[in-house]
Structure 1
Amino acid sequence: MDDIEYRGTAPSSIHTTPSQRQAEPPSENTKKRVQAADPNDGRCLIENRHPDHAIQYAHCLPRALSNHHNFMTSLEWHWNLQYHTLNLNTRYNIFRLGATLHALFDNHFWILVPEERVVDMYHSTLTNITVSPTAHRNNFPLFNGNEPFKYKLFPIPGKMDSMAVCVQHVVRSPPQVEDFTIHLHPFQNIPFLLSHIRPHFVIARAGRTLRKVDTRLSMTLSAEHPLLVKVVTLYDAWTRGLPTDVLDDESFNPPPPEGDEDNDEDDASSEDRTAPHRDKKRKLHRGSPTRGSSRATQQELSLVQQGTLRAHQEFWQAMLVTRSNP
């Protein structure tokens, strides 16, 4: 079973040969696609600095997660994708950041969160929210088109208290002193940020960060911003687990077409529906028996699900206490 990135029954219990997804840096073609989709013309998303100023390509969901089979398969299922097709090197998961902010982002110092109406579109599709949030594959919202999305920056409590963010609000050459504004923690005056990255990548990254940081810090931030409770709930639902017969669902695991070959393109023609990006040389046959799926293993996986349910119940109980004792 994979590490704590995954919060439910391990799909490896129904898949005998976990394959590799792309974990390499984005290719030059992918960078060109990011550049073409970026409404900021390659400038830093937060500080709006010119691409020449050490502006890097940042992954919203880290590309290293491509090797976490359980986590990726759960997202594929709950995001209404096909098995083995989620590509973290898609342009919809990559944006531009200055080197310092990139490092802070990768170390969970801050998160991005979509505007509330977008979070609510995802959250409204969940059921059984306060006990065991459940996402339904066929109800997953889709955003087609090239319109950018709005995001807000939220610093994790105690992580950026001594830092300032310098935003260039006027772009001209050469720049003038008055073209810049210094924003201090908690950066509430930084306006909404426009980006081409898709909201579900952003929500998954924010939820993952809030689950990884100290519980008290996460609770403090969520108490100040109730929207973040919905973000965590979505993350829990998307990583909660899979039906035992998931591989019998042909919408998820269709039979491979004859002459099917791997396609290494890093584009996403519609949302995240890319050509398969895992190593599929040893393809899975639907309904194939699972090696080593003993009764003891099934009991262990059941305990994992129970632990996830308890964690979610404790989160909601703590939130109620926090709100009643401001």
Structure 2
Amino acid sequence: MHRRHVIGAALGLLAAPAVHAQDAWPGGRPLRVICPWPPGAANDALARLLAQRLNETLGAQAVVENRTGGAGLVGTNAVLQAAPDGYTLLASAFNTAVMPLVLKGATFNPEKDLEVLGRWAQAPLVMVIGGTRPQRTLPEVVAAAKARPKDWTIAISSLGAASHLATIEFLRRTGLDLDLVSYRGTQPALTDLMAGNVPLLIDNSFGVLPATADGRVRALGIATRQRSALAPDLPTLAEAGLPGFEFQSWYGAWAPKGTPAAIQDRVNALMRETMRDPAIAQRLTGQVLEPVTESIAEARRFIAAEIARAGELLRSVNYQPE
């Protein structure tokens, strides 16, 4: 079944009697859930899940706005500029945390200028190769790219995505000097990969693993410590020759700085309740997404560690924001 249909089925399972709104919020006003990525991406599917839950639980209208552009900066800026009253939320991913490290136009501090509401899903990264390429293993790819580097490029789905950082680390670890080709999302990158226009891509499991079904894309390895239940037959990239190579994309929600703590807590509780629903968790797992249930404090600590790791990696290669 197509991933959008399965996510839709998951949403259908949430059709339960609405819980009466408490206190003054949401007060009958519409809620905006801003997603800085196009429809069809994991960010978008989870944004719609959040909007659906807000609708059912609060009895108010919550709508998703896809504000794309600037590698996620357009939508993020819309939330940064919104009133901190709980009526504008951001549903995004890893990119939000590291955006100022990779984009010249991102002048905000994600830890100081936004309120973290929590994470609620993650997806390990997978390295894939175009199906027409003869190489079957990572060592074969590295050897071929070193022999003829001009014949090899590597796609990145978005500047500042977890896949971008993983690609930088892959090139650093292997000593390869390949051109990076940036796209506006996973689907355009996959389309070019399948057409043979670009040979390699590292991206999230949600986007790339379903594309391996017909052979036009082959998976070389997954960036997890141990083999993942999401793809148990796929070797880890550590097994394939990159010890300790672990990267994941993750998805969460934020609010403008100063949003009342009571609203933050209610949204976080809603996210955790949603991911604890066995039926929803099972369907997300079927879409190679791993459910996450974290408190706000836990999410803050996790994101701080991710920012520190990304900063260290980018400094090690003297990366300059684009």
**What TM bracket, shorter-length normalisation?**
under 0.3
TM-score by length of 2: 0.27
TM-score by length of 1: 0.26
* Structure number with larger C-alpha Rg: 1
Q: Which has the higher contact order (CA 8 A, sep 6+)?
A: 1
Q: Which has the higher strand share?
A: 2
